[in-house]
């Protein structure tokens, strides 16, 4: 059974044939678009290290969401860029803070779009870490109540899904308990289960004007070298009540996505992070890559590896391209 009888090129000859046998597909309803909402007015400020991405103020938010919705994208993931920060990150659970206010506005104007909120205090802390800090150490258990308060405030504002990204142990259980106790037993948790301490987050830290003021995140985010440990993280988060588990970053971690697909029988999300986006954009600006091609191929690879949902800064551009191709 081989050549010349077998010819794999037979099914590649025309675009109709290729389409007929294609194994993986991209669709806008699989995309989640991250949005940076900033305090201030009439602000739509391009993020230097993320061309085509903006920090936007509340008065621009609804227009942005309408555009996203019209492209067939299912959900947005909100990140707050607050004007004030403190040691504890108290802005994170202020019911009148930037994220709860955004959630209320969106759910009132366009209730059909799913609103997911990032639950992590780093954008609100003066030291830029994802947990409380004492003597240079990031405290785990003491941080959990803060995450509970933050998640509850988001749910009360009307968030459809909460997404803890802090990587403290026990956070999924803590957040689940808090939501249930307050009657929000129907709000799913999308857990950043296998979140690596990655250099590919650098543009995001510029976007949110956050990032650690001392040290790094290696005592809580995962070591890039580890794969078995990612499965422990995923199993733990599922056992604690996660409804969706995430792998992050995406493209440099396709093996982890694929392995997660084998162990997890619930939806898997992959986060194509800021650095993955900016790499493709920067090369395109120099005329060094085919931007559309690289964008679609990377998204397809993430789906092929086993991700059901993709959080991507390319959401709008890719959705537009898919609409044109139809």
Taking the least distance from each CB to ligand PBG, the nearer of 14 and 188 is 188
36 binds ligand PBG (CB under 6 A): no
Stretch of residues binding ligand PBG (CB under 6 A), selected from 118-126, 183-191, 227-235, 253-261: 118-126
The site map against ligand PBG for 267-286 (x = CB under 6 A) is ------xx------------
Q: Do residues 105 and 62 lie in contact, with contact meaning Cβ atoms separated by under 8 Å?
A: yes
Q: What is the rounded CA–CA span in Å between residue 96 and residue 80?
A: 12
165 binds ligand PBG (CB under 6 A): yes
Q: Do residues 122 and 130 lie in contact, with contact meaning Cβ atoms separated by under 8 Å?
A: yes
Residue nearest to ligand PBG (CB): 204
CB 126, min distance to ligand PBG, A: 15
Taking the least distance from each CB to ligand PBG, the nearer of 113 and 168 is 168
Kind and range of the H or E element at 297?
Answer: helix 291-305
Q: Do residues 248 and 194 lie in contact, with contact meaning Cβ atoms separated by under 8 Å?
A: yes
How many residues line the site for ligand PBG (CB under 6 A)? Answer: 9
Q: Do residues 78 and 35 lie in contact, with contact meaning Cβ atoms separated by under 8 Å?
A: yes
Q: What is the rounded CA–CA span in Å between residue 148 and residue 155?
A: 11
Taking the least distance from each CB to ligand PBG, the nearer of 118 and 178 is 118
312 binds ligand PBG (CB under 6 A): no
Annotated catalytic sites, by residue? 195, 248
Among 64, 94, 118, 240, binds ligand PBG (CB under 6 A): 118
Give me the sign of the Cα torsion angle 52, 309, 71, 82.
Answer: negative
| CB-count exposure of residue 156 (10 Å: 0-12, 13-18, 19+) | middle
201 binds ligand PBG (CB under 6 A): yes
Q: What is the rounded CA–CA span in Å between residue 177 and residue 240?
A: 10
Among 64, 94, 122, 233, binds ligand PBG (CB under 6 A): 122
Among 35, 68, 75, 120, binds ligand PBG (CB under 6 A): 120
CB 82, min distance to ligand PBG, A: 12
Taking the least distance from each CB to ligand PBG, the nearer of 28 and 275 is 275
CB 324, min distance to ligand PBG, A: 26
CB 15, min distance to ligand PBG, A: 34
Q: How many Å is the Cα radius of gyration of the chain?
A: 20
Q: Return the closest-CA partner of residue 238 out of 189, 271, 196, 272.
A: 189
161 binds ligand PBG (CB under 6 A): no
Region at 311 (left for phi over 0; alpha for psi -120 to 50; beta for the rest):
beta
Q: What is the rounded CA–CA span in Å between residue 123 and residue 187?
A: 23
CA–CA–CA angle 303, 309, 315 (5° rounding):
90
Taking the least distance from each CB to ligand PBG, the nearer of 94 and 122 is 122
Q: Return the closest-CA partner of residue 317 out of 292, 287, 300.
A: 292
CB 300, min distance to ligand PBG, A: 19
233 binds ligand PBG (CB under 6 A): no
Taking the least distance from each CB to ligand PBG, the nearer of 36 and 184 is 36
Q: What is the rounded CA–CA span in Å between residue 11 and residue 203?
A: 41
Binding site for ligand PBG (CB under 6 A): 118, 120, 122, 165, 201, 204, 217, 273-274
């Amino acid at each position: 059974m081989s050549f010349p009888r077998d010819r794999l090129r037979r099914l590649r000859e025309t675009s109709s044939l290729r389409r007929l046998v294609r194994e993986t597909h991209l669709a806008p309803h699989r995309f989640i678009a991250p949005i940076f909402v900033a305090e201030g007015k009439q602000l739509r400020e391009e993020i230097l290290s993320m061309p085509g991405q903006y920090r936007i103020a509340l008065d621009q938010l609804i227009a942005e969401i309408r555009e996203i919705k019209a492209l067939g994208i299912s959900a947005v993931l909100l990140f707050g860029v607050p004007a004030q920060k403190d040691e504890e990150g108290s802005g994170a659970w202020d019911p009148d803070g930037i994220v709860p206010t955004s959630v209320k506005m969106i759910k009132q104007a366009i209730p059909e779009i799913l609103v997911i909120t990032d639950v992590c205090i780093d954008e609100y802390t003066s030291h830029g870490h994802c947990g409380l800090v004492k003597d240079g150490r990031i405290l785990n258990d003491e941080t959990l109540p803060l995450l509970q308060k933050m998640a509850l405030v988001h749910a009360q504002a009307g968030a459809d899904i909460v997404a803890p990204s802090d990587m403290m142990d026990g956070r999924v259980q803590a957040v689940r308990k808090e939501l249930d106790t307050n009657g929000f037993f129907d709000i799913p948790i999308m857990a950043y289960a296998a979140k690596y301490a990655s250099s590919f987050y650098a543009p995001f830290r510029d976007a949110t004007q956050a990032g650690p003021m001392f040290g790094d995140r290696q005592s809580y985010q995962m070591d890039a070298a580890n794969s078995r440990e990612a499965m422990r993280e995923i199993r733990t988060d599922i056992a604690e009540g996660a409804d969706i588990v995430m792998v992050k970053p995406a493209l440099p971690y396709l093996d982890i996505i694929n392995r997660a697909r084998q162990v997890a029988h619930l939806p898997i999300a992959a986060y194509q992070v800021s650095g993955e986006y900016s790499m493709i954009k920067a090369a395109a600006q120099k005329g060094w890559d085919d931007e559309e091609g690289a964008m679609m191929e990377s998204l397809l690879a993430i789906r092929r590896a086993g991700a059901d949902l993709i959080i991507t800064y390319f959401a709008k551009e890719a959705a537009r391209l898919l609409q044109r191709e139809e």
